[in-house]
Structure formats: structure tokens, C-alpha cells
């Protein structure tokens, strides 16, 4: 998990288990964007997905992940619409 995403997770009162549960519950309909990574240093086989989810209710959360064949890296976990 990216350092800023981890800090925001904690500021929102969530823990790693909450994030895991949220990621496991994401639905295709919640995906707002998917693309190749902007930064090649994130390696081959990665794909970027962005979601807006109501997993925890209101307000909706914005979740951005790099999905690799064998892992997931959380880049953003914040209230949707909040600054970067």
C-alpha cells in the first residue's frame, strides 16, 4: 500500500483488513477507469483500476489500485472528490 493511501486509510478510521474486505467486494460497475500504468517502473503485467465505491456507506470512497498477476498495490484510498 502506498504511504499516502495508508495514512488516509488510518485517518478515515480503517485498517488493512477493512481495505482487504473493500477490495474483495469491488464490482465492475464501480470501476470508473482502467488503463496501463503511467509509470513503467511499476513493472510489466500491471494494470491500473480506479473505483468509486459505497462499501462503507456514505461518503463514497475512491480506490485506485495497480493489479499485477500475483498481487495488488493500493495507490489511493480516500473520500471520493477529496484532493490528491
pLDDT at 80 over 80: yes
- The pLDDT score that the predictor gives to residue 44 is 75
| In-domain check, residue 63 | yes
Length of the chain: 84
**Residues 67/71/73/74 CA torsion (nearest 10 deg):** 80
Domain extent at residue 49 = 3-79
Q: Which residues pair with 82 in a beta bridge?
A: none
For residue range 41-78, list pLDDT tens digits in order.
Answer: 767 778 999 999 999 999 999 999 999 889 999 999 99
| In-domain check, residue 84 | no
Q: Please state the domain count of the chain.
A: 1
Q: Find the CATH number of the domain harbouring 13.
A: 3.30.2310
Task: Give CA–CA dist 63/32, Å, rounded.
Answer: 10
pTM comes to 0.89
Amino acid at each position: 500500500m502506498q504511504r499516502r493511501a495508508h495514512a488516509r486509510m488510518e485517518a478515515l478510521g480503517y485498517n488493512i483488513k477493512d481495505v482487504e474486505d473493500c477490495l474483495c467486494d469491488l464490482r465492475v460497475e464501480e470501476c470508473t477507469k482502467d488503463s496501463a500504468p503511467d509509470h513503467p517502473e511499476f513493472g510489466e503485467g500491471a494494470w491500473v483500476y480506479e473505483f468509486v465505491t459505497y462499501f462503507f456507506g456514505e461518503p463514497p470512497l475512491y480506490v485506485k489500485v495497480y493489479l499485477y498477476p500475483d498481487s495488488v498495490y493500493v495507490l489511493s484510498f480516500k473520500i471520493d472528490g477529496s484532493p490528491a
